[in-house]
Chain A
Amino acid sequence: MLSHASASLSMDQSLGNARKFIAGEGYMYPSLFLLKKGGPIVTSYEHPSVLHIDSDDDTGDPEKVYNTVVMFKNVKKEDEDAINLVARELAAKTCPDAVGLIMVVLYRQFTQQEHKKLPGDYQAAMDPDALRAVHGCYYVKGDRDPAMLLIPFLDRTVGIKDEEDGPVSAIAGKKRDITFVQSVWVYKDKTLDPWLKYPY
């Protein structure tokens, strides 16, 4: 059985990897994390929305929290449903101790009134729509309350306006310009609902 403390630290590590990936490659596909203490989850699973599945190798360490990552294609409304469907099916099939999700979401944009409240010198300094966020959430088996987190980041990479341009590695000569703000796990978040529903 996995405690929340262990699950949060394991997801913290995955978030760190996600940040590095976003800073380097630019685009991160939504990823589902299946955590299990003491042994890896080996799964063969296919779904039209799933791109790739990768599992930690077995090191024989009974205390290690093993991770299986299920990577999804771009998120549209039907993919959001697919993430929850796949999470439920894999939770039933593999019995992980915890299930989490990490994905990039668009942060809420400034309203005109909010923008007007900025100090005058700063109003024109930055694109008010440039703020995005890495959203993380997870559930430990038996607890329906999700832990959530939002890591806002500024992406001002020249020439790349949104994810429709595709992975930045495919666009020659573009240098990443990304600044992250670190954030912490909370039980409730006023800004965002969890994208993942309780999968057990």
Chain B
Amino acid sequence: MDYPAMHSSLTAIEVIFPGGLCAFSQQDGLLAFAGDELLLYHPSLPREVAAKLNDAAKHASIAFRIVNTRNFDDSESGRKAQEAFLKRLAKILGEYGLEDVRVSMDPCTLAIAFGGSCFARPIERLEGFLRTQAGLNRYHLISGNGTVCRWERPVVPAFEVKLEPDRRAITEDDITDLRIMLETLGGDVDAFVRRI
């Protein structure tokens, strides 16, 4: 990401987020580069703020994307999970002979940069390993020329539960239906209808 794009992205967050970037940081908001885009994470981003940010991101000079998850965030022992993952990753890299890599552990995304000599080796196997790692939600692999591939765990859409039925006026037919139902059950129907 070039300087003007980054600066205008930060400025947009400063202007739109209540309290600016300072409040954003203090509320555990995170900003991270992932290739050519700036990832923006906030643990409880208000819907209207997210909408404004998404609108701003449509501007050509602003290049950020809101993400809802962090790596190793869904476990109480996230730190231990991360340490265990790094040990497995180091072993896998060694097994594949991928020694010439730079690893950046960021809460938003795992980045692995490859040296020119080792990029031709079977990256697919490494990706196969990464995608099965519990807690790893996002990574990107970088060659010497720039971002090669990025992956993000698909978000399972939540079911929408309607808590309140549609409101409509009670008609005479409704009251008749109710009267018939109550009569079959017995009881003072007229008193009940007057109450409702």
Within 8 Å of chain B (Cβ to Cβ): is A181? yes
Contact assessment for B142 and A186 in the assembled complex, using a CB-CB cutoff below 8 Å: yes
Segment at the A interface, from B93-101, B169-177, B181-189: B93-101
Interface residues on B, range: 35 or more
- Name A120-160 residues within 8 Å CB distance of B: 121-122, 125-126, 128, 131, 143, 145, 147, 149, 152, 154, 156
Stretch in A2-10, A28-36, A68-76, A87-95 touching the partner: A2-10
Q: How many residues of A are counted as interface, with CB atoms below 8 angstroms from the partner's CB atoms?
A: 40
Residue A180 CB within 8 A of the other chain: yes
A170 to chain B, nearest CB (A): 22
Q: Is the CB of B59 within 8 A of A181?
A: no
**B6 with A186: CB separation less than 8 A:** no
A108 at the interface (CB under 8 A from B): yes
Instruction: Given A5-B99, A5-B101, A126-B14, verify A184-B24 contact (CB < 8 Å).
Output: no
Q: A110 in the interface, Cβ–Cβ < 8 Å?
A: yes
Task: Out of A8, A119, A152, name the residue touching B8 (CB < 8 Å).
Answer: A119
Q: Is B108 an interface residue (CB 8 A)?
A: yes
A122 in contact with B8 given A179-B21, A179-B24 (CB within 8 Å) = yes
On whether the beta carbons of A114 and B86 are closer than 8 Å, the reply is no
Across the interface, B111 reaches (CB within 8 A) one of A4, A143, A152, A184, namely A184
Is residue A188 within 8 Å, beta carbon to beta carbon, of the partner chain?
A: yes
**Shortest beta-carbon distance, B85 to chain A, in Å?**
12
Complex partner residue of A4 from B12, B30, B89, B115, CB under 8 angstroms: B115
Beyond A3-B100, A125-B14, 13 additional contacts (C-beta under 8 Å) are: A9-B105, A110-B3, A117-B4, A118-B4, A118-B7, A119-B59, A119-B61, A122-B15, A128-B7, A131-B6, A179-B22, A181-B31, A184-B104
Residues of B within 8 A of A (CB): 3-4, 6-8, 10-12, 14-15, 21-22, 24-25, 30-34, 38, 56, 59, 61-62, 86, 89-90, 93-94, 99-108, 111, 113, 115-116, 142, 144
